[in-house]
Structure 1
């Protein structure tokens, strides 16, 4: 049986699994029914199945041949707090929860790969199929590592696949180096004496301090960072006051920083603190900075990207394998696994152009099912490329 025959035979099951998961979405660390579904499938394929790894995570282990080499394939289980507006026949049946990022399809594809590789193990070594909870917001990847995932399943390389709207349909992105950004969040609070709006001289005016900070902070990107370096600093919320004739005692500014260079995290935190301290000295207003370091950047290794390219070239025309796609300033907690293992890649599957609210995390997001056979072939080719027979 040829590769395409394996995929064609498995594709109906993968579509059915995708639709089932889409109808039954669960939020991060709450994916109990999803985990049940995944574990039951892995068990039915004959894989060694583990559910005691971390929260709702599931790990399937498949061995072939006698090599001691190993690779990890990862997909995500969680959905988002989004009200679905797609009109799909398999729309979410859970109010206010939707698979708006394609994790349901990613899971279905990895299950399909597990099934095909268990039936036709054309590789030599061990594959760990990792189904991760809470990729969105809660950093389930970080928790899996803290809970000992890699101690029990010590992979040499790790790979994930993610559909990517806006990239040519059917393309496989095999980019070396940065592909997704690191992200930090912060809250800067200015505190002082409140006052009546008619008598502002009796207070300190934290509103003015916040305004001065917002203007001064623009210099962080424009004047303290090499223009050739990627840094996005966005202020997204300002909270303060309840009555229009009272100057409040407290104003909070919230925002986020995105970057590829890990050193930017410390730089932004230091710069925000220095600017706020200067405003405090000039005005007498106190400040508190809560700077929260989030997901690191996703940086594909040289070898990992090369393996993806070789695997993709085995079943796609050369023009469909892209190695120079610009990175995204979006983030992904696959970075924790990739950093911990030290070798591997995050793969994008081009989903084509989409309309308003139909991109990732949008209420009209619809996973492009033309990508299912591409993702399945990609997993099979990765297994054969990363764990080739006859190599020790």
Structure 2
């Protein structure tokens, strides 16, 4: 580029940036007089012509700019805007596609294609393109103001079409689900939710020991654990002991979340050191709390019937967990997928809900829930009453006895290594 053109481009750009269009335009025309195929001059003059409502002139200039710079997506999308105003739908689509050939992740191009399909009434195709646009856009707080209305509209359409697709897939699954076990049926309901964009795949994520290659199963079948009837049969006695503990040893119920000062609390800010979620431990990090066990002999006997996971420094854990009215335990992951967590619901008012991954369950008094807490999970008590469950750890039944020993070895070795630091 010659020095003369450089100086003219710099001056024209500065004038345009300050809104002095009447000064910028003659400068761009001088650039074209020297270089008739200069893409920036053609593009800028085309935009100026469009702003004045001179569509034919804008079309000619932008078409020439696109021919000079076919790899510039902004030029192609500006040409598409002009063609749309001229009523040339076929030309508009060609220009939109050209912008995406230049850059398949070009956000204005994706939004323009989605809007084009939406105008034609092709809502499902439009939703697919909007979904791609929403994948490449930054988080909502950083959305460009000029694109925000269309992004919001696109997100609403994606959600609406997703709900329609979920209902369609559910209807297609229909009676076929009767041939499946409850666990299999839940798997295919989740598959439909993921396929329709209503859910995501929830992996196992552990804050301590992750056992690779174990499937991430949200809830396990109670029938697969021989000790379930024994524990469930003691529900009334366990409830009585829990109520006695709450009455006579209220100080034993302590905040479950209790981070020390200076430690990042992340999602636990609202519950840190709060008795809105409190626990009365019978076992804690592999250590028995003898005073509490002595106060709750029937509960202790129920736990003796269980094949509790024993991983030094980590588990077994067993506790009464009390969740105050209108309290939400936010989504989080557990420490290891080598163990499962068990809930024995004791006091369950209406409007309480538990989620593990995609699957949502309601607690039923006396009926155990057995789940992998390394999968994202959360709990809600939206009632006006207290909710209480007995929680304890058991081994993941997919581990052999030899593998359980490896869990203990690795856990102990990790702790030993840290102590030597």
Please classify the TM superposition score into its range, dividing by the shorter chain length.
under 0.3
Q: TM-score, normalised by structure 2?
A: 0.21
Q: TM-score, normalised by structure 1?
A: 0.22
Higher-helix-fraction structure: 2
- Which structure is higher in RCO with an 8 Å CA cutoff and minimum separation 6? 1
Higher-strand-fraction structure: 1
